[in-house]
Structure 1
C-alpha cells in the first residue's frame, strides 16, 4: 500500500512538473510588443513576432489584438520548432495599390501544426484591382494579382473563425497542403468582382471545408488539378459561380483529381450550382474521378448541375478539339431547388473520352420560366433513378463528332 502511494505521489509530481514545463514553453507574441500600432503599417512588427515565435520551442501564439492595422505583402515561413497559432482579433488591411504585390498578400509557407484563428478580418481592399482587371474579357492579358491568404505546403492545420473581405484576386489559395481543416469562415466580395474565388485548392489532399459562408464574384470553391480526398460540407454559397471542379486540362501534365465529396450545401442566386469543367483541346491527357454531390439545395441558380467539357471562356481555346480529361464515377443525388434555365441539368462530355459511371438520383429542380425544362446529355449515358425533374436523358448520347458546347465563365 505504501509503495502504491509513493508511486502515485511520484506520478503526480511528474505530471505537475511536465505541465509546468509545457506552460513555461508556451508564449504569446503580441505584435504591439514588437512595435505595431493601430492605424499604422505593422509589416516589420508581424515579421519580427512570427520569427521569434517560430524559433521558440513549445506551442506559441502570434497575436494581432483588436484594432485596425495596415500590412504590406508578407510571407510567414516555417518550419517552426513547434506548433504555432496566428490569432487575428482585429482588422488587417492590405495596401489598395495592386502593383505592390506579387501573387499573394499574406503567405504561410512550410508550416506544420498551424492554426489561424481569432475572429478577425483580412481586408484585401480589392476595389482598385478589380477596376484594372482586364482578363475578364481576355485571359491572355491577366496580370499578377494578390490572393488575400495563400497556404503553401502547410500541413496538419486548422483555419477557423476568420473573415476574408474584398480580396484583389482569389481569397484563399491552398497549394501543396495536406491535412488542413477550414471551418466557420466568412468570405465576401461583391457579385461583380472579377476572379475573386472564395477558396481555390490545387495539388492538395486531406482537406476538409465545413460551415462556411461564401459570397463572391467567381467560384465559391474551385478545385484544380491534384485535388484529392477533399470533403466539403455545410457551405452556403452565393452570389458567385458555384462549387466547381476545374477548370482542368488547360496545361500540360496536370495531376489527377479524385475523392471529392460535396454534401449538405446551399447555393443561392448563383451562376452555377455544382459543376465539373475541362478545357477542349487539352495539351495532355488527364482524369477526374470519384466526385460525389449530395443533399444540395439550389435557389435561383442558372446552371444547377453541369458537366462542361467544352469550357472555353472568351474564345481562349481550340473549341472544336475535344477535351482529353477522362471523367468517371460521378454522382448527383438529392439535388433540389429552382432554376431559371431551361437546361436545368447539362452533362456535356467529351467525344474523345466520354464520361463513364455517371449517376443521377432524386433530382428535383423547378423551372421558374415558361415551358418545360430538360436534361441535356452529350457523350454520356447516365444511370437514372428516383425522382427526375426535369426528366432524365432519353435516347442515345450525342453523336460522335458533336463538340460539347462552350459553357459559362
Structure 2
C-alpha cells in the first residue's frame, strides 16, 4: 500500500474514533436518581475506611433501573479496595468531587486492585476529583507483594482498573501517586479518556500512567501524564487505539509493549499517536518486545506531529528486551510510520531500530524527522560523538528532511 493511501487509512480510523467518542459523550444520561456516598455511611474525615459505604452506594445505583449517579462529594474519603461491579440496569455515572485516598497496608490488596470497575456497559467517571494511591509508602519496599519474595516492584496494586467496561468516558479525573499502574484497561471497547492529570515522581517504580491490553476503539486525549514509568503503554491484543494531545514527562515515554511476555498473546494492530509532546523522558516513541517471545504481529502503527524535548531515546524499536539473551524475539513488526517528528535528543543516537534477527522489521517509514543533538545535556562520553541513526535487522525508508542522518 502506498504511503498516501496509508495515511488516508489513518485519517479514516481517526474520524471513526472521533465519531464513536462523540456518540459516547452524547449518551450522558439525564440523572433521575442521585446516590451520595455520605447517605450510606461514608465519612470524609480521612480516617474511616469507606469501602463498605462505597460498595453499598454503588449497588443501589447500579440496580436502580434508571440512569443514576454515584456522588463522592468534597472532602477526603479513605478506602481500601472497592469493586464497582455490573451489569447495571441502566447507564451510570460516578462523580468524584473530593479526594479518594487509598489505605497503605498492602495486605488488604490481595487481588492487586484498589478501585475496580468491571462488567459495565455505559459508564461516565468524572467530577474533577482525585484518586490518591499513597504509593510512597509502598515504593520503598523491596518485596512489593507480601506473599512473594520478588525483588522487583512490579506487583503493586493498580489504582483504577477497568475490566470488561464498554462505552465509557473517563474525564476530568486526577490520579496521584499510585502504588502500581495508575489506570489499567483490559477487555474494554469504545472507551474514551480525556482531561486527565496523572502524577507520580520519576523515581516511582512501575507507575505507568495508562496501560491497556485486549481492548479496542480506545481514545486517550488531552491529558498530562508524568510518572516513573510509561506515560501510556499499549499491550497485546490492542486494536484501533488513538493517543493524542498528551503532554508526557517525566517517565519512560509512550510505548507499544512490551510484547511477547506470555505465550498466548494476541496481535497489536492500528495504533495512532499524534500531536503529543514528550519532555525529559527516558524514551520517546518506543516499541519493545521480549526476547524468546512466541510469534505475534505488531502492525499499522502511526506516529505523527510529535515534539520530543531532551529525550534520551527519541525513536526506538527494541526487540532485545528482557533477560533471555540468546533467544530472539518472534514478534513481527511491520507497517510503522514516523512523520513530522521534531525536537532534541540527549544521546548521540536519535533513531535506534534494533529489530529481531528472526523476523526483521519491514515497512518502517520515517518522513520529516528533524531531531537535534542537545550536547549540553548529554553525558561527557557522548558529547563529542556524531549524531546518528542505528538500524539492525530493519528495512527502513527515509524521506524528506532527516536528522540524524539515515542509517
SS at match of 1:93: strand
Partner of 1:303: 313
For 1:139 and 1:277, the matched residues in 2 are separated by 23
Q: 1:45 aligns with which of 48, 53, 67?
A: 53
Partner of 1:377: 391
For 2:78 and 2:133, the matched residues in 1 are separated by 10
Aligned residue pair count: 364
Q: Larger C-alpha radius of gyration, 1 or 2?
A: 1
Q: 2:353 aligns with which of 347, 357, 362?
A: 347
| Higher alpha-carbon deviation: 237-246 or 125-134 | 125-134
Could you tell me whether the CA contact under 8 Å between 1:170 and 1:197 is conserved in 2?
A: yes
Partner of 1:332: 338
Partner of 1:362: 368
Partner of 1:110: 119
Where structure 1 has 5 or more consecutive residues not aligned to the other structure, the ranges are: 1-21, 394-409
Could you tell me whether the CA contact under 8 Å between 1:294 and 1:333 is conserved in 2?
A: yes
| Higher alpha-carbon deviation: 96-105 or 83-92 | 96-105
- The 3 A distance-change label for structure 1 pair 269 and 142 is closer
SS at match of 2:100: strand
Q: 1:123 aligns with which of 125, 132, 136?
A: 132
For 1:263 and 1:173, the matched residues in 2 are separated by 21
More strand, by proportion = 2
SS at match of 2:57: helix
Partner of 1:173: 184
Aligned-residue offset at 1:381: 2.1
Q: 1:275 aligns with which of 266, 278, 286?
A: 286
- The 3 A distance-change label for structure 1 pair 337 and 142 is closer
Aligned-residue offset at 1:139: 7.0
For 2:86 and 2:141, the matched residues in 1 are separated by 34
Partner of 1:64: 72
Q: 1:28 aligns with which of 29, 34, 53?
A: 34
For 1:388 and 1:133, the matched residues in 2 are separated by 44
Task: Map 1:8-19; keep pairs closer than 5 Å.
Answer: none
- The 3 A distance-change label for structure 1 pair 251 and 208 is same
Q: 1:160 aligns with which of 164, 171, 178?
A: 171
Alignment RMSD (CA, Å): 1.5
Deviations 1:41-83 (A, max 9, x none): 2211111110000001221000000011111101110000000
- The 3 A distance-change label for structure 1 pair 324 and 301 is same
For 1:250 and 1:162, the matched residues in 2 are separated by 31
Aligned-residue offset at 1:273: 0.3
For 1:320 and 1:167, the matched residues in 2 are separated by 35
Task: Map 1:120-269; keep pairs closer than 5 Å.
Answer: 120-134=129-143, 144-269=155-280
Aligned-residue offset at 1:214: 0.3
Residues 1:288 and 2:298 are matched in the alignment: yes
Partner of 1:321: 327
SS at match of 1:319: coil
- The 3 A distance-change label for structure 1 pair 83 and 47 is same
For 2:75 and 2:182, the matched residues in 1 are separated by 22
Could you tell me whether the CA contact under 8 Å between 2:154 and 2:206 is conserved in 1?
A: no
Where structure 2 has 5 or more consecutive residues not aligned to the other structure, the ranges are: 1-28, 376-382
SS at match of 1:99: helix
Deviations 1:259-280 (A, max 9, x none): 0000000000100001000011
For 2:405 and 2:61, the matched residues in 1 are separated by 59
Partner of 1:392: 406
SS at match of 1:264: strand
Partner of 2:101: 93
SS at match of 1:169: coil
Partner of 2:13: none
Aligned-residue offset at 1:133: 4.1
TM-score (norm 1): 0.87
Deviations 1:308-346 (A, max 9, x none): 00012xxxx221221100000001111110111111100
For 1:299 and 1:210, the matched residues in 2 are separated by 20
For 1:171 and 1:143, the matched residues in 2 are separated by 13
Aligned-residue offset at 1:142: 5.3
Deviations 1:166-194 (A, max 9, x none): 00000000010000000000000000000
